[in-house]
Structure 1
Amino acid sequence: MYHKEKSIQIKNSASALYNNLGVLRIAPRRLTYFTVVHANVVNMVSASWDGLNYSHRQLQSKEPNVATSTSLIMQAAFCGLPSRDLLVVTSQKGIQMYESDGSIMVYWHALDTPETPTGNALTELTYIAAQAVFARGISAVWENYICVGVSSGAILVFDVPSKGSNITLSEVLEEHKDSITDMASECSGSQECIADLVSADDSGSLCVWKSGEDFQLLNKIPGFDMSCSSVKLWKGTVVAGYGTGQIRLYEAVTGILHAEVNAHARWIYSLDIAPFSGLLLSAAEDSIVRVWHLTVTPETNNVEVAHLHNECVTDTQICGAKFCDGDGYAFAVTGYDLGEIIRYTQS
């Protein structure tokens, strides 16, 4: 069903992070932007659709006006809003928002660092390790919000104007008790779309939200003490990937379990959905990328899952996988310590 295309070389290899691949398709310019995180650097590639032209850019996580203050980056993701696209980078120090091509940083939000108790050095080191601070989990929510998760379990909601840098923190959602791992959104803020945001944490718990001037918690789906590393929302269905290698599909509003699939032999690192076709992409530590097809029956609201395709990236711990278009015609994959983005297209 899919065949391998020419890979895109990147400046640095990929770090072993969940969802370590960002993809943004720029149709008017016939370009696709890719981002891959390596330590404290975001490797960004602009690739033309004909595969003939590539340009590279590297972004570092650092505080504004502090040239030497860098920190490990946890995630880089593109956020598409009706009026603009932004690249959001999260790290141990804060949250950076860039124009989609990475050329200009338009916003910086510093994370609160807990005060370290005074005492012997061992106590201080133990406290610092236990109180690690970072941001992870990024999602745009129609039509002007970007949500970012943090290690405390809180979700920061940013109000983003149609242009300029006047971005404000409008709300903090404090429902999760464990570090946020991933977030996903779908649809718009209309009444027809009841649930339009889902968040996941290290305990496997899922929170389903309705966005607006005041975000509403619609449902909390309990975890099973196993991290939910990647989550998606599609046609009112939550699709969650876990450290067990399982994929679970829930009805978003009620939390009813539609299906449970033993999809991989090891930890799932990334899920993605092609919204127009219902294709689901899953990638894991077991070196396997799988393509599934989701079907929703409107009369019963049941969801069926069919397996379509496998790809094996030999001897590679896969850490990122994304469709390159809304139909699922092509997808890209990254792997730990791999200095390339591997691409596949339908035969």
Structure 2
Amino acid sequence: MYESDGSIMVYWHAVHTPEGATAAAVFARGIAATKSHYICVGSSTGSILVFNIPPKGTNITVSDVLEEHREPITDIACDCSEHKGCIADLVTADDSGVLCIWKSGEDFKLIHKISSYGSTCSSVRMWSGMIAAGYGNGQIQMYDAETGAMQVEVNAHGRWVCALDIASDSGKLLSGAEDSFVRVWRLSRNPESNAIEVEHSHTECVTDVQVCGAKFCDPRGNAFAVTGYDLSEIIRYIQV
């Protein structure tokens, strides 16, 4: 962990390395900062390390290790919106497709554990009490963070969904996949039933590129950037 300008490394943590010639190396995958002073980092063992970040100084400590997953962690996301009424604010995903929804704090509490649907959950995002999960079968599934119930299933892509992002100010959802397509969706809730609704807004084809990274460039979602497998460029798109 570094100072915000990247100039000084203030903390490092050595993950446990198993012994034996056939033991696989342990690596970190998935990171998210909660609204409180914690940073969660996933690992290939399925554990999630919770780091306590002090308001001042560099006395960073491992305050908890979450052991609910049995497969390597693929992604972690936190709900940093001002949504009220839902105590769940963190979601973690693993290689088997299991999702765990948590309430962060001094004692992290498991709120819901969503069973696998038979496909890896490769990317997950959380916003305003909604959870967007992208899967290896090309689907995006939307969950209600408060109840853990799946409310929307979208056949979004023809191949593996590699990246999701949500524009915090508008609720736009960005998805990128190995099928070379990047799509923008609009997330909302029905004012009468409070059910999650997803509307397709825009599609871009990145010709001959297996998209592996996609992210909005501003909180409104008026621009986004993508990159692809074996591509040394970042391509930026602007809404006009």
Higher strand fraction (1 or 2): 1
Q: Where does 1:138-153 land on structure 2 (aligned, <5 Å)?
A: 138-153=31-46
Q: Which residue of 2 aligns with 1:111?
A: 15
Q: Cα deviations across residues 84-129 of structure 1 (Å, max 9, x unaligned)?
A: xxxxxxxxxxxxx12233222111001100111xxxxxxx3xx23x
Change (3 A) 1:342 1:191: closer
RMSD: 1.6
* Match 2:209 to one of 310, 316, 339: 316
User: In structure 1, how many angstroms separate the alpha carbons of the residues matched to 2:113 and 2:195?
Assistant: 20
Asked whether the 8 Å contact 1:189–1:196 carries over to 2, the reply is no
* Higher RCO (Cα < 8 Å, 6 or more apart): 1
How many residues are treated as equivalent by the alignment? 240
User: In structure 2, how many angstroms separate the alpha carbons of the residues matched to 1:297 and 1:287?
Assistant: 31
User: In structure 1, how many angstroms separate the alpha carbons of the residues matched to 2:202 and 2:39?
Assistant: 33
Structure 2 unpaired stretches of 5+: none
1:221 matched to 2:221? The reply is: no
User: In structure 2, how many angstroms separate the alpha carbons of the residues matched to 1:99 and 1:340?
Assistant: 27
Flag as ranges the 4+ runs of structure 1 deviating above 3 A.
Answer: 187-193
Q: Which residue of 2 aligns with 1:328?
A: 221
1:210 matched to 2:103? The reply is: yes
Q: Which residue of 2 aligns with 1:305?
A: 198
Task: Quote how far apart the aligned CAs of 1:163 are.
Answer: 3.5
User: In structure 2, how many angstroms separate the alpha carbons of the residues matched to 1:185 and 1:161?
Assistant: 19
SS at match of 1:99: coil
Q: Which residue of 2 aligns with 1:288?
A: 181
1:161 matched to 2:50? The reply is: no
* Match 1:201 to one of 85, 94, 103: 94
Q: Which residue of 1 aligns with 2:126?
A: 233
Bigger Rg, structure 1 or 2: 1
Structure 1 unpaired stretches of 5+: 1-96, 117-123
Task: Quote how far apart the aligned CAs of 1:165 are.
Answer: 1.9
Task: Quote how far apart the aligned CAs of 1:133 are.
Answer: 1.1
SS at match of 1:106: coil
Task: Quote how far apart the aligned CAs of 1:191 are.
Answer: 7.6
SS at match of 1:316: coil
Asked whether the 8 Å contact 2:142–2:150 carries over to 1, the reply is yes
Q: Cα deviations across residues 53-90 of structure 1 (Å, max 9, x unaligned)?
A: xxxxxxxxxxxxxxxxxxxxxxxxxxxxxxxxxxxxxx
Provide the TM-score with structure 2 as the length reference.
Answer: 0.95
User: In structure 2, how many angstroms separate the alpha carbons of the residues matched to 1:153 and 1:199?
Assistant: 10
Q: One-letter code of the match for 1:169?
A: V
1:243 matched to 2:136? The reply is: yes
Asked whether the 8 Å contact 1:107–1:165 carries over to 2, the reply is yes
- What percentage of aligned pairs have identical amino acids? 65
User: In structure 1, how many angstroms separate the alpha carbons of the residues matched to 2:109 and 2:39?
Assistant: 15
Task: Quote how far apart the aligned CAs of 1:299 are.
Answer: 3.6
